[in-house]
Structure 1
Amino acid sequence: MDNSRTRQQTPARVGTLTITFDDGPDAEYTPQILETLRHYGVPAVFFCIGEQVARYPDVLRAIDAAGHAIGNHTMTHPHLTELPNDEIRKQLTDAANQIEATIGKRPHLFRPPYGDMDERVERIARELGYQPVLWDVDSVDWSGIPGPTVAANVLPHLKPGAIVLQHAGEHAEGTPAALPYIIEVAVAMGYDWVPFMSKS
């Protein structure tokens, strides 16, 4: 019996990937993203802005109810390296308070807006109990590019253990269209989508 066709349909697993979404929640793109993740059974991390949580608390509750991890993306999305220490702490604490007031739990993961983090910002975040999380693959979807371009920015750069950066907020109109394709092609390449796991 020739099993070559079966082998082709079930490629050897080559590693794991984690998908993350910044800048949400919002009322337009985040629900579409949640539906796609539900359809494929893919877990994600949503790094949420406190001001957005205040605007769309029900969407944050939907993220939490779906079992996805929620991280702190500051209160107002500033460049943290340009702020004094007390303002950095306030950005993280205010966002955490907003998230906790909405879903009853505080985040433990943190992603600095724009990836703007130096030793000082990282030290303050860790003092507050956060694990900073950056990324390995940037979809550049925040720039308003269409779905095929979003996918093209992701798929060629995947590697085992990669953290993929996408967005669930304003200007990320290409993300909902790209997401099913990214998920399916990555699985066909032999990757499994998994929850965030610390690399440290």
Structure 2
Amino acid sequence: MDPRMQKQPPFLPNEPKRIALTFDDGPDLQYTPEILEILDAYGVQSSFFCIGSQVQKFPNVLRRMVRDGHVVANHSWDHPYLTKESKSSVRMQLEQTSDIIEETVGLRPRLFRPPYGDINETLSTQVHSLGYDIVLWDVDSVDWSGISGPSILSNVLPPLKADSILLHHCAGNVSGTVDALPYLIEVAKAIRYQFVTIDVLLGTPAYCIE
């Protein structure tokens, strides 16, 4: 079952509404550390869908993510359109990425986000057969396009609702996200949103258990 289809208990009027910040495409040495500093300053834990080749380049940044209490998940090895790949290539993209994450931090991800959100029934079946849960999103910052902080906020704040999964990026042309993130966190907290990691929001384990 798609974890986003799981029922969540109803919220009482005064209870915080849970949302999950997620970041794709890292780690890198430019924007990921800045984002981690902001999250740490605000006491917010987030979820990072990591590219295996980037983990291989910047293992210490991945280690910091885990040390700071963030969830790390699988976002393929080098970000292809997986619906255009062979089954053997899809398997390699996922398993090689989980291997390098496990070698780096001792945790093997169970959560996977397909690059570009590119998914179909055939790919979904294969991903689930490999033991992964697929995680998409419902609020898209469109930060990958290089837009400014105010534009990112206008994409994110109006559609925000309880149980939203927010899509941002922590690598690429994403200076706008670094600019927008403090204000986004402050506004969301002011209107009683509580930031949680994706596994908590969806009620599913983040990592494989041996």
Does the alignment reach a TM-score above 0.5? yes
> What SS does the corresponding residue of 2:108 show, helix, strand or coil?
coil
**189, 197, 202: which is aligned to 1:198?**
202
State the distance in 1 between where 2:57 and 2:183 align: 30
> What SS does the corresponding residue of 1:86 show, helix, strand or coil?
helix
**68, 71, 76: which is aligned to 2:70?**
68
Written as runs of structure 1 = structure 2, the 5 A alignment for 1:163-182 is 163-182=165-184
State the distance in 1 between where 2:157 and 2:16 align: 14
Larger Rg: 1
1:84 counterpart residue number? 86
Tell me the amino acid that sits aligned with residue 110 of structure 1.
F
Tell me the amino acid that sits aligned with residue 59 of structure 1.
V
Written as runs of structure 1 = structure 2, the 5 A alignment for 1:46-61 is 46-61=48-63
Name stretches of at least 5 consecutive residues in structure 1 with no aligned partner: 1-10
2:188 counterpart residue number? 186
Q: Deviations over 1:146-169 (max 9, x none)?
A: 111111110011011000000000
State the distance in 2 between where 1:90 and 1:109 align: 16
State the distance in 2 between where 1:136 and 1:176 align: 21
Identical-residue share of aligned pairs (%): 50
> What SS does the corresponding residue of 2:90 show, helix, strand or coil?
helix
CA drift at 1:12: 4.0
1:38 counterpart residue number? 40
Q: Deviations over 1:116-147 (max 9, x none)?
A: 01111111111111111000100000111111
Tell me the amino acid that sits aligned with residue 122 of structure 2.
R
CA drift at 1:22: 0.1
State the distance in 2 between where 1:42 and 1:13 align: 18
CA drift at 1:14: 5.3
* Aligned partners of 1:13 and 1:192 also within 8 Å: no
Tell me the amino acid that sits aligned with residue 159 of structure 2.
H
2:145 counterpart residue number? 143
2:122 counterpart residue number? 120
> What SS does the corresponding residue of 1:174 show, helix, strand or coil?
helix
Written as runs of structure 1 = structure 2, the 5 A alignment for 1:98-109 is 98-109=100-111
State the distance in 2 between where 1:138 and 1:158 align: 10
Tell me the amino acid that sits aligned with residue 121 of structure 2.
E
Tell me the amino acid that sits aligned with residue 96 of structure 1.
S
2:155 counterpart residue number? 153
Tell me the amino acid that sits aligned with residue 42 of structure 1.
V
Q: 1:67 to 1:199 in 2, by over 3 A?
A: closer
Name stretches of at least 5 consecutive residues in structure 2 with no aligned partner: 1-12, 205-210
State the distance in 1 between where 2:155 and 2:196 align: 20
> What SS does the corresponding residue of 2:28 show, helix, strand or coil?
coil
CA drift at 1:185: 0.6
State the distance in 2 between where 1:102 and 1:199 align: 25
